[in-house]
């Protein structure tokens, strides 16, 4: 199972910088940068809620599920 973060794509679509998103969401640049690059293992629902509110998007716009390939016999 793989969860892919698409925050960078949504931010680009909205023409919003990391600094602006950080200020409006109330999360540090460092934490948003890790989220943007996919270097996190968890996200709080309150943070996801704030990001979706600011970017006017759905969680599914930011998170994508990719099924792992099944092993070959």
Strands, DSSP E only, in the chain? 2-5, 63-66
Residue whose C-alpha is closest to residue 27's, from 12, 7, 2, 3: 7
Digit-coded pLDDT (tens) for 27-65: 999 999 999 888 988 999 999 999 999 999 999 999 998
Domain ranges of the chain: 2-66
Cβ(5)–Cβ(61) below 8 Å: no
Fold of the domain built from segment(s) 2-66: 434 Repressor (Amino-terminal Domain) (1.10.260)
Phi-psi region of 38 (alpha: psi -120 to 50; beta: other; left: phi over 0): left
Encode pLDDT of 10-29 as tens digits: 999 999 999 999 999 999 99
């Amino acid at each position: 199972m793989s969860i892919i973060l698409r925050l960078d794509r949504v931010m680009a679509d909205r023409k919003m910088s990391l600094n602006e998103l950080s200020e409006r969401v109330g999360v540090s640049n460092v934490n948003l940068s890790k989220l943007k690059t996919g270097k996190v293992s968890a996200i709080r629902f309150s943070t996801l809620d704030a990001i979706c509110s600011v970017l006017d998007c759905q969680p599914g716009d930011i998170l994508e599920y990719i099924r792992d390939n099944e092993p070959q016999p």
